[in-house]
Amino acid sequence: MNKLSKENYIFDIEPDKYIDLEGYRAMGGFSALKKALENEPSVSIEEIKKSGLRGRGGAAFPTGIKLEMVRKNEETKRYIVCNADEGEPGTFKDRFIMRHLPYQLIEGIAIAAYMVGASKGYIYVRHEYPEVQLKLRESLEALKNAGLLGNNIMGTGFSLDLHIFSGAGSYLCGEETALLSSIEGRKGRPRVKPPYPTQSGLWGKPTLINNVETLANIPRIIEKGADWYASLGTENSSGTKLISLSGDVNNRGIAEVPFGITFAEIIEQFGGGPLPRRSVKAVNIGGASGVLVPPEMLDTPLDYNKCAEVGITIGSGAIFVLDDTRSIIKNVQNRVKFFLHESCGKCTPCREGLRQIDGIVEDFLEEKAAKSDIESLERYAVTMQQASFCGLGQAAGNSLVSSLVHYRKEYEEACVNDTDDVEKKA
């Protein structure tokens, strides 16, 4: 599959280009909001449902269904929250949108707020993005002055009070219920679900929470129609996906690709392939909570169903390439230590599982491990996946488990010779 033609891009991607309000309106910006406001919210919701748009933050939940769930709630006081925490290592596509295309994001938020009947909302931005927060605040002020945000938008009677909320550096607050607790001034820890935020979210009210990329897709869908959007991808995965491409490739950065393209094509067409005189050893797909994939699986299409069939999690769209100079075990250790640092410690499977895994992986790197330790790693990782309270613990072992499937030989070669005897580890 080739690159997209210009008229089929959802995002205007040029590394050093910033589109201000005047430029965005010259491109047709806020015509989608005007179109939405001229119709009943149900009309736009049906268009989003028909488009097949799914959440781009990792969960891939159908966006139209989520909108409808909030809209149909009997409670009339509702909120909208944009999840711009972007704490997944290797992911930087939301930062690009907020820095270069802030008005497209805010237009998407305003349309979504109108659809669900929310009059107040927040953009939850990680505190490590100070320049992004500044850009968004400037954008909100410019929109208020232009009558495109605040009270009585475009003279239609619809109002939206939108604020920037700065996170405090917790990866866990990327989880929607932990994020809500953070906004409310409480510890950013996940809540028991159900009820889901669409039922009882911010301050107990129905709340729509969507990722930056998800919301920034909405203006194009309303503007050009669901059929156009659905035609860009595959039957099960419509539209395009922003990829954060990094690691051992010639060209690192953001790429907008159509669903259906293979991972091998992404690495070659957009990344320029591996570095000179190197070959691809593995590819981490989906960020730290994603999986390690060997070269023979890179012909898998970027498609939610096709990827699920072979155990690939698309997640936020991060792709990190490892060449033949990399250690798989060292790569896994980096992810384990990250999650060990970010774990809130609330539940035993995650807290103790990560601590045990970290120690065992260290033994492998120091050539102190016995072959029986491979089974221990598998046992701890599976326990975390099945018994952890939230998504952090459930996903923290994904990279480890996939490495044990596809790169088990590297672990076996790192063990002490010809024995499972734990005493030889001393």
Counted domains in the chain: 3
* Domain boundary, last residue among 323, 348, 372: 323
**Please, where are the H alpha helices in 267-371?**
304-309, 328-342, 348-365
Same domain, 98 and 199: yes
Same domain, 53 and 87: yes
Same domain, 106 and 219: yes
Task: Taking the CA atoms of 301, 302, 303 and 307 in sequence, report the sign of the dihedral they define.
Answer: positive
Q: Could you tell me if residue 235 is inside a domain?
A: no
d(Cα 232, Cα 282) in Å, to the nearest integer?
A: 28
* Domain boundary, last residue among 181, 202, 230: 230
Q: Could you tell me if residue 1 is inside a domain?
A: no
Among 342, 296, 337, 292, CA closest to 318: 292
Same domain, 257 and 211: no
Place of tokens 């930062």: 95
Are 87 and 126 in contact, with CB atoms under 8 Å apart? Answer: yes
Same domain, 201 and 84: yes
Among 167, 117, 119, 110, CA closest to 139: 110
Q: Could you tell me if residue 143 is inside a domain?
A: yes
CATH number at residue 307: 3.10.20.600
The token pair at 403 is: 């490495």
Q: What are the C-alpha distances in Å from 400 to residues 74, 175, 357?
A: 44, 21, 9
Tell me the whole-structure pTM to 2 decimals. 0.94
Q: Could you tell me if residue 192 is inside a domain?
A: yes
Q: Could you tell me if residue 360 is inside a domain?
A: yes
Residue 222 class from Cβ within 10 Å (0-12 exposed, 13-18 middle, 19+ buried)?
Answer: buried
Same domain, 114 and 185: yes
Place of tokens 């672990």: 411
Same domain, 111 and 181: yes
For residue 34, the model assigns a pLDDT of 98
For residue 424, the model assigns a pLDDT of 45
Among 80, 105, 107, CA closest to 95: 105
Pairing, β 79-84 against β 120-125: parallel
Same domain, 171 and 198: yes
d(Cα 65, Cα 248) in Å, to the nearest integer?
A: 39
Q: Could you tell me if residue 416 is inside a domain?
A: yes
Same domain, 395 and 260: no
For residue 2, the model assigns a pLDDT of 58
Instruction: Concatenate the DSSP letters of all residues of 76-112 into one string.
Output: ---EEEEEE---STT--HHHHHHHH-HHHHHHHHHHH
For residue 16, the model assigns a pLDDT of 81
For residue 426, the model assigns a pLDDT of 44
The token pair at 285 is: 């797909």
d(Cα 82, Cα 183) in Å, to the nearest integer?
A: 12
Same domain, 64 and 91: yes
Same domain, 160 and 307: no
Task: At 293, give phi and psi (nearest 5°).
Answer: -120, 130
**For each of the chain's 426 residues, which pLDDT tens digit applies?**
457 777 889 998 887 889 999 999 999 999 999 999 999 999 999 999 999 999 998 889 999 999 999 999 999 999 999 999 999 999 999 999 999 999 999 999 999 999 999 999 999 999 999 999 999 999 999 999 999 999 999 999 999 999 999 998 899 999 999 999 999 999 999 998 999 999 999 999 999 999 999 999 999 999 999 999 999 999 999 999 999 999 999 999 999 999 999 999 999 999 999 999 999 999 999 999 999 999 999 999 999 999 999 999 999 999 999 999 999 999 999 999 999 999 998 899 999 999 999 999 999 999 999 999 999 999 999 999 999 999 889 999 999 999 999 999 999 999 986 555 545 444
Q: Could you tell me if residue 93 is inside a domain?
A: yes
- The answer for residues whose C-beta is within 8 angstroms of residue 119's C-beta and 6 or more apart is 78, 113, 159, 160, 161
* Domain boundary, last residue among 172, 195, 230: 230
Among 321, 299, 290, 311, CA closest to 399: 290
Instruction: Concatenate the DSSP letters of all residues of 152-179 into one string.
Output: SGGGSS--BEEEEEE--S-GGGGSHHHH
* 3-state SS assignment for residue 388: coil
Q: What are the beta bridge partners of residue 257?
A: 241
For residue 255, the model assigns a pLDDT of 95
Same domain, 222 and 126: yes
Are 257 and 79 in contact, with CB atoms under 8 Å apart? Answer: no
CATH number at residue 409: 1.20.1440.230
**Prior bond of 195 cis (ω within 30°):** yes
Q: What is the largest CA-CA distance in the chain?
A: 78
Domain assignment of residue 284, given as a range: 240-323
CATH number at residue 100: 3.40.50.11540
How far from chain centre, in Å, is Cα 33? 25
Among 156, 166, 167, CA closest to 113: 156
Q: Could you tell me if residue 182 is inside a domain?
A: yes
d(Cα 361, Cα 352) in Å, to the nearest integer?
A: 14
